[in-house]
Amino acid sequence: MSFLAHCSSEQFRSLDFELLLASSDLVGGNEMGAGSLIPKSEFIGLENVTHLAAGGETPVLISNAAAVTRFMVDKGVGMPGRDRMFATATRARERLASLLGARSQEIALLWNATAGLHAVAIGIDWRPGDNVVVGASEFASLLHIWQAAGIELRRVGAGPCATLDEVADAVDLHTRAIVVSHVSYLTGVRSDLAALREIADRCGARLVVDASHSLGVVPVDGSLCDVVVSCCYKWLLGTHGVGVFFVNSKRWHQLEPKAVGWNSVIHEADWRQRTSLHLKPTIEKFEGGNPSFMSIYYLENALVTLEEIGISRIESHVLELGRALLDGLNRLGVDQLTPARPAERAGNISIATPHSEQLEARLRERGVLTWGGDGRLRISVHAYNDLADVDRVLEEIEALGLFS
């Protein structure tokens, strides 16, 4: 039986899990590569791979194992542990609010980004003739959730990324929402939120933003948005089971949940007095019941790591790595979907190729993790990457010769 199986709750609390796991077979022993902001040795499984797949899944921080163990200990000790669960969720909301320039009361922890989009779709008081404007190349959930609700969907964009002019031409006084990814999953293009805000204001529409490919790696100005949703298992270094739902109370104070639970309402201690429903004044009312506490412990710990570095520093880092990557791809004559201008990109660099799945698989065989599909290969750089990673993927792409 393992050492962990013999530990009491108090022993679990006192363990230095980073040291414990660093000595196990789960963790690589490589030191920090030159230029990375987070040492590769702080992650599980990076000893034998070049990880450039943050746009799909990020590697796991070793410290997240300790965070999950803290949850397991708290879960088993009764009411004090329960109090710590809610305190951890509060800290997670506060950290997310800091990333968005928001207040923690404007953040709910739903189970994924799509849940937030669904809350918007059913929360708008739709009128006959209303429409939603979405880029034709957007991620599937941003397109289909409106169609499922029976709302007119105006798909815009002749190319792989809708332009501001195409969005402006598509809206009218019946447009209730402009829905956009801050950073495209497909091309890596970063949208101009300030310009989109101006378009939305001209027609009286809500600006609904999916920040799944930007939150945690570049700044996201929540003040420009009515709603921001995001997954947590990519650039935030979190995991599945928890998603960000931010509603800007200055812009949309009247949005209310259509389904409620015990966690949506102000608690009345005397059951005999529970005769009327009083929703919480915070966006937590959208959570309904218990959030995914284990995922939240994991997320809150990851957010601490990002905070210690700072998002502006991470942004500068990934833009510099992206510049080196784009320069190298230019030398190889590779067709790119991602613009070179720093303001128009973040951590995703996409290559146009009909052989993306084949290229991803062959790179993976050579120890380089990327992401294929949708007619493009996506190479993602994050805080744990360095110039050696960029050089490695360029060398392997050149060696494979699929673009020659």
pLDDT at 23 (0 to 100) = 38
pLDDT at 313 (0 to 100) = 97
Which contacts of 226-229 are long-range, i.e. CB under 8 A and separated by 24 or more positions? 226/200, 226/251, 226/252, 227/116, 227/120, 227/252, 227/255, 228/100, 229/113, 229/114, 229/116, 229/117
Is the per-residue pLDDT at 177 higher than 60? yes
Strand 368-369 to 50-51 pairing: parallel
What pLDDT digit, counting tens, does each position of 182-233 carry? 999 999 999 999 999 999 999 999 999 999 999 999 999 999 999 999 999 9
Least confident window among 1-10, 89-98, 199-208, 267-276: 1-10
Q: Which amino acid is at 63?
A: S
User: For residue 317, how many C-alpha atoms fall within 13 Å in the half-sphere facing its CB?
Assistant: 22
> Residue 160 and residue 37: Cα distance in Å, rounded?
32
Quickly state the pLDDT bin for 404 (edges 50, 70, 90).
low
Residue pair 348/378 in contact (Cβ under 8 Å)? The answer is yes
> Residue 71 and residue 379: Cα distance in Å, rounded?
33
Burial class of residue 14 in the structure, from the number of CB atoms within 10 Å of its CB (0-12 exposed, 13-18 middle, 19+ buried): exposed
pLDDT at 20 (0 to 100) = 42
Is the per-residue pLDDT at 51 higher than 90? yes
What pLDDT digit, counting tens, does each position of 381-396 carry? 999 999 999 999 999 9
Is the per-residue pLDDT at 21 higher than 50? no
Neighbours of 363 (CB within 10 A): 25
Q: Which ranges constitute the DSSP H helices of 275-374? A: 293-309, 311-332, 356-365
What pLDDT digit, counting tens, does each position of 293-307 carry? 999 999 999 999 999
> Residue 338 and residue 369: Cα distance in Å, rounded?
19
What pLDDT digit, counting tens, does each position of 61-81 carry? 999 999 999 999 999 999 999
Is the per-residue pLDDT at 4 higher than 90? no
Quickly state the pLDDT bin for 148 (edges 50, 70, 90).
confident
Residue pair 56/350 in contact (Cβ under 8 Å)? The answer is no
> Residue 384 and residue 59: Cα distance in Å, rounded?
9
* Mean pLDDT, residues 276-282: 88
What pLDDT digit, counting tens, does each position of 161-173 carry? 899 999 999 999 9
* Mean pLDDT, residues 341-370: 96
Q: What is the chain's length?
A: 404
> How confident is the prediction for the chain on average, in pLDDT?
91
Quickly state the pLDDT bin for 154 (edges 50, 70, 90).
very high
List, in order, residues 6 or more apart from 76 with CB less than 8 Å away. Answer: 9
Is the per-residue pLDDT at 24 higher than 70? no
Quickly state the pLDDT bin for 403 (edges 50, 70, 90).
low
Quickly state the pLDDT bin for 277 (edges 50, 70, 90).
confident
pLDDT at 41 (0 to 100) = 95
